[in-house]
Amino acid sequence: MSKYAKILVDIPVEELDQSFDYRVPEKYRDIISIGQAVMVPFGPRKVTGFVIGLTDESEVEESKIREISRIIFTDTFFDEELLELFQWMSVYYKAKLINIIKTAVPAGVISGQLKKKTLRIVKLNTAKYKIEEYINNEGKKAYKQVEVLEILLNSDRDYTATELARLAGTSTSTITRLVEKGLLKYEEIVQERRPYLGEDIKRERPHEANPWQREVITRIKEQLDKATYGAFLLHGVTGSGKTEVYLQVIDYALQKSLGAIVLVPEISLTPLMVRRFYSRFGDQIAILHSNLSAGERYDEWRRLKRGEARIAIGARSAVFAPVKNLGLIIIDEEHENTYKQGEYPYYHSREVALKRSKITGSTVILGSATPSLESYYLMRKGVFRLLELPERIKQKSLPPVELIDMREELRKGNTGIFSYQLQEAIRDALGRKEQALVFLNRRGYASFLFCRECGQAIKCKNCDITLTYHASIDKLRCHYCDFLMSRPASCPHCGGNYLREYGHGTERIEEELKELFPGAVIARMDLDTTGRKGAHQEILEKMERGEIDILVGTQMIAKGHDYPNIGVVGVISADTMLNIPDFRAAERTFQLLTQVAGRTGRGDKKGLVFIQTFNPEHYSIQAARNHDYLQFYQQEIENRKLFGYPPYTLLTNIIVRGEVEQQVIEAAMALDAFLQKYGKLILEVLGPGEAPIGKLRNNYRWQIILKFRTYKERNFVLTRLREFLVEKGRKEVVYNIDVDPLMML
Ligand code: ADP
Ligand code: ZN
């Protein structure tokens, strides 16, 4: 029973990040609640908004208060705890509250596109004995009708008229006639759209925990018993049974009537992982994944809200899942970049999960074989408690890793992509009827067209990025804006006629493998071959069934899949990622190599891993070879300290972009001048300068990177900065504040 509601309106004006009071019409006073979407008058228009507060008194003069037009959804999209989380995010990430809410609630809600999908089914309209009477009396004349009625009498499932007619071998007019006679009726039911989970998933029983797992599980259960906030870093090598731990502690949470969220990186949300959860918990899980249609997502979301599903499993945005009585959040592969949203609002799911757990008094588990430097550092500071699974299940050993010095290979006269050793190892594996994985760092890596006369590569006209050459379609493509062009006859820079393909993309490697191993079945997995829905899964299943001998791929093959029959893993070049101009390059290299190496040695076979590199001495490559996280961590944390990078400092990247270069530069300069005033509170200002990708989708980009000592100082400066942008920012350019940036390109 509230007279007024505080409404956050959805208008694309940066200044307006506040709520407005509206009067609640009499008829809505009993049902209005926080988290509902409403339609309200705003100026001359009607706009959508969210209820974020209710009150019986307003400070606004009664005559100036306008009335809510209608409630769009009586379902609430968030409760007070989630609202608190959104408000925290708005402050921390310097983003408008409405944009946070729009990111967090199921897509399509605000635009009102989401409708419950209904289905018209056929039902009996009278008592069974009356139907039977009818069958006895009319049966001889109307055998088709009898057929229809008998199907309905003998089945408990629902049929549409079309289904029923097909089953009875008749047309829908038979059903219409029965409806007219009052024997049948139509009924609208809400149809749940459930994502496809594969057929016949068997219920799986828990494994008996090994001693390491038992210890870890006990500690987590003790925390769950306390029902307060508590955070763990679960450091377990690949194949050490982390997922089994998740499954068992979730089971315990359910017994205590607590709900759970499981976050997985987008890419490793493979059917295998989902199947494992499904086989343990059945319909108690709800899947929130970007591959689902908006309708499917919305239905899964509602199952959680109604408490029918108790476990949400999904990528980044599943951290907002409306799980009832939340008690546990698990972040699998917590070091993954996909947890950071790469566009406004730039939130990081791990940070958000930690905050949500504090608000709700939940337990958080950050799991990884290669924890992010930040998380390990925080664990050492006592912010997270450490749990370890140092051994693989059943004492399987981690695979031996061999580094291949490609400089040596050149000296031996091998200018090809594959070292002699790797070729031999693949040949041996194939001979033993085992499979091989060949890993390349990036899709179409460095496969570009290059002019041998002027030395220039062909670049995208919208972005300052080299175009990737795709041999199979003989075209050049920009992997940022998707610009596509045919292969030019001559160099666009100098008119020269000697354009040459350079570098090795996954396609080149596939070609070369076909030549080296003519009898082998070779498949490729990258964004090009998996664009179609389900394609990714198809390749994985073929691999699982042993129908592929050699799988070539990018990052996608590095994660989450378990194949017992892999005899060799080859990494074409460990250096590509090492050379990316980013202070996290060494960390990413270590994580990736460790993960790739973890793909083998899982079954009964002993797997071999070969890493080709021009930098075999580099510490991240050495540490990956030794499967030694601490060796890596100790070296890397020293470097971070020396150069003043996170976790020793707090970074913020301010990106300015626009279509007119001069305006972008002026805007960046004005920002810089403004920031000078706060010199004492900022540890260091890098820039302003052109961003590493200076032009993207026809926008020029400049950036200023700020380093801060404390959260407090950062928050103070960024708050002033935002006020400045709202008042004095140029309308022709877009400003993005990326708090804790991961990629600075
Ligand atoms: P991780 O998530 O650390 O990579 P998993 O939980 O996937 O490890 O475990 C690796 C494999 O070992 C899986 O096939 C899993 O079913 C199996 N497994 C896990 N725990 C046990 C156990 N206690 N006993 C037997 N097998 C186990
Ligand atoms: Zn482009």
What is the structure's pLDDT at 622?
A: 95
Least confident of 133-137, 374-378, 638-642, 712-716: 133-137
Are 490 and 528 in contact by the 8 Å Cβ rule? The answer is no
- Find out if CATH 3.90.79.10 is the number for domain 211-394: no
What is the structure's pLDDT at 60?
A: 85
Tell me, using a 6 A CB cutoff, whether residue 238 lines ligand 1.
yes
The CA distances from residue 712 to 126, 332, 394, 650, in Å, are 70, 30, 48, 11
393 alpha carbon – ligand 1 mean position (Å) = 6
The CA distances from residue 618 to 161, 595, 631, 635, 686, in Å, are 68, 18, 12, 11, 27
| Residue 489: exposure state from Cβ atoms within 10 A (0-12, 13-18, ≥19) | exposed
Helix axes 161-168, 143-153, angle to 10 degrees: 120
What is the structure's pLDDT at 34?
A: 95
Structure tokens at 30: 């009993």
Dist CA 684 CA 649 (whole Å) = 10
What is the structure's pLDDT at 218?
A: 98
Helix axes 535-544, 271-281, angle to 10 degrees: 80
Per DSSP bridges, beta strands 522-525 and 499-502 are unpaired
- Residue whose CA is closest, atom 17 of ligand 1? 241
Q: What are the tens digits of pLDDT across the range 521-534?
A: 998 887 666 666 66
Q: What are the tens digits of pLDDT across the range 319-346?
A: 999 999 999 999 999 999 899 998 889 9
Per-residue pLDDT at 604 exceeds 60: no
* Phi–psi pair at 736, nearest 5 degrees: -125, 130
- Listed by start position, the domains of the chain span 4-76+94-104, 118-190, 211-394, 401-445+504-640, 456-503, 650-739
Least confident of 2-6, 309-313, 336-340, 563-567: 563-567
What confidence category does residue 112 fall into, taking pLDDT thresholds of 50, 70 and 90? Answer: low
Least confident of 14-28, 91-105, 221-235: 14-28
Residues 6+ apart with CB under 8 A from 355: 85, 88, 89
| CA angle, 116 then 11 then 296, to 5° | 20
Tell me, using a 6 A CB cutoff, whether residue 279 lines ligand 1.
no
- Residue whose CA is closest, atom 16 of ligand 1? 244
Q: What are the tens digits of pLDDT across the range 48-70?
A: 899 999 999 888 888 889 999 99
Per-residue pLDDT at 201 exceeds 70: no
Are 595 and 441 in contact by the 8 Å Cβ rule? The answer is no
398 alpha carbon – ligand 2 mean position (Å) = 41
Q: What's the whole-number average pLDDT of the chain? A: 86
Ligand nearest to the CA of 391: 1
Ligand nearest to the CA of 595: 1
**Which of 214, 244, 561 has most ligand 1 atoms within 8 Å of CB, for mutation?**
244
What is the structure's pLDDT at 170?
A: 87
What is the structure's pLDDT at 197?
A: 57
Second CATH level (architecture) for the domain 650-739: 2-Layer Sandwich (3.30)
485 alpha carbon – ligand 2 mean position (Å) = 11
What is the structure's pLDDT at 61?
A: 86
Tell me, using a 6 A CB cutoff, whether residue 243 lines ligand 1.
yes
Mean pLDDT of 524-551: 77
DSSP secondary structure of 466-506: BPEEETTTTEEE-TTT--EEEPPSS-TTT--S-EEEES--H
What is the structure's pLDDT at 531?
A: 60
- Residue type (1 letter), 509: I
| 3 state SS of 361 | coil
459 alpha carbon – ligand 2 mean position (Å) = 8
What is the structure's pLDDT at 602?
A: 59
Helix (H) or strand (E) holding 41: strand 37-42
Tell me, using a 6 A CB cutoff, whether residue 305 lines ligand 1.
no
Rounded to 10 degrees, the C-alpha dihedral 99/104/108/114 comes to -140
What is the structure's pLDDT at 626?
A: 92
Q: What are the tens digits of pLDDT across the range 352-375?
A: 999 999 999 999 999 999 999 999
Ligand nearest to the CA of 478: 2
Per-residue pLDDT at 474 exceeds 90: no
Dist CA 589 CA 373 (whole Å) = 13
For the stretch 668-676, contacts whose Cβ atoms lie closer than 8 Å and that sit 24 or more positions apart, written own/partner, are 668/702, 668/703, 668/704, 670/728, 670/730, 671/704, 671/721, 671/724, 671/735, 672/704, 674/721, 674/724, 674/728, 675/704, 675/706, 675/717, 675/721
Dist CA 466 CA 39 (whole Å) = 47
Ligand nearest to the CA of 466: 2
More confident residue, 659 or 18: 659
Which of 406, 426, 396, 431 has the alpha carbon at shortest distance from 608? Answer: 426
214 alpha carbon – ligand 1 mean position (Å) = 13
CATH assignment of 401-445+504-640, given 3.40.190.10, 1.20.1250.20, 3.40.50.300, 1.10.1130.10? Answer: 3.40.50.300
Dist CA 586 CA 551 (whole Å) = 26
The CA distances from residue 654 to 237, 511, 688, 705, 710, in Å, are 37, 43, 9, 6, 18
Q: What are the tens digits of pLDDT across the range 287-296?
A: 887 667 777 7
What confidence category does residue 228 fall into, taking pLDDT thresholds of 50, 70 and 90? Answer: very high
What is the structure's pLDDT at 427?
A: 95
Dist CA 339 CA 330 (whole Å) = 13
What is the structure's pLDDT at 443?
A: 44
Which of 194, 197, 175, 196 has the alpha carbon at shortest distance from 186? Answer: 175
Dist CA 577 CA 71 (whole Å) = 51
Q: Do domains 4-76+94-104 and 211-394 have the same CATH topology?
A: no
Mean pLDDT of 207-221: 96
In whole angstroms, what separates CA 218 from the centre of its chain?
Answer: 30
Structure tokens at 529: 């071959």
Q: What are the tens digits of pLDDT across the range 136-184?
A: 888 777 888 888 888 888 877 778 888 888 888 888 889 989 999 888 9
Dist CA 209 CA 189 (whole Å) = 44
- At the topology level, CATH places domain 4-76+94-104 in GIY-YIG endonuclease (3.40.1440)
The CA distances from residue 702 to 320, 493, 707, in Å, are 32, 25, 17
Which of 680, 678, 677, 700 has the alpha carbon at shortest distance from 689? Answer: 700
Dist CA 472 CA 507 (whole Å) = 8
| pLDDT cut 90: percent of the chain above it | 47
Which of 301, 284, 311, 271 has the alpha carbon at shortest distance from 542? Answer: 271
Are 719 and 743 in contact by the 8 Å Cβ rule? The answer is no
Composition of the chain by helix, strand, coil, percent to 5: 35, 25, 40
What is the structure's pLDDT at 316?
A: 92
The CA distances from residue 374 to 18, 177, 555, 740, in Å, are 34, 70, 22, 11
What is the structure's pLDDT at 265?
A: 87
Mean pLDDT of 388-394: 88
Q: Which ligand 1 atom sits nearest the alpha carbon of residue 369? A: 3
What is the structure's pLDDT at 713?
A: 97
Ligand nearest to the CA of 268: 1
In whole angstroms, what separates CA 540 from the centre of its chain?
Answer: 19
Q: What are the tens digits of pLDDT across the range 552-586?
A: 887 766 665 667 788 899 998 887 777 666 788 88
The CA distances from residue 612 to 227, 365, 434, in Å, are 49, 35, 21
240 alpha carbon – ligand 1 mean position (Å) = 6
What is the structure's pLDDT at 464?
A: 66
In whole angstroms, what separates CA 123 from the centre of its chain?
Answer: 42
Per-residue pLDDT at 603 exceeds 60: no
What is the structure's pLDDT at 445?
A: 42
478 alpha carbon – ligand 2 mean position (Å) = 5
| pLDDT cut 70: percent of the chain above it | 89
Q: Euclidean distance between the first and final Cα of the chain, in Å?
A: 51
**Which of 234, 243, 565 has most ligand 1 atoms within 8 Å of CB, for mutation?**
243
Tell me, using a 6 A CB cutoff, whether residue 242 lines ligand 1.
yes
Tell me, using a 6 A CB cutoff, whether residue 591 lines ligand 1.
no
Q: Which ligand 1 atom sits nearest the alpha carbon of residue 239? A: 4
Mean pLDDT of 628-646: 93
Dist CA 83 CA 105 (whole Å) = 11
Tell me, using a 6 A CB cutoff, whether residue 209 lines ligand 1.
yes
668 alpha carbon – ligand 2 mean position (Å) = 23
561 alpha carbon – ligand 1 mean position (Å) = 12
Length of the chain: 745
What is the structure's pLDDT at 444?
A: 38
More confident residue, 603 or 428: 428
Mean pLDDT of 126-130: 84
More confident residue, 381 or 391: 381
698 alpha carbon – ligand 2 mean position (Å) = 8
- Residue type (1 letter), 396: K
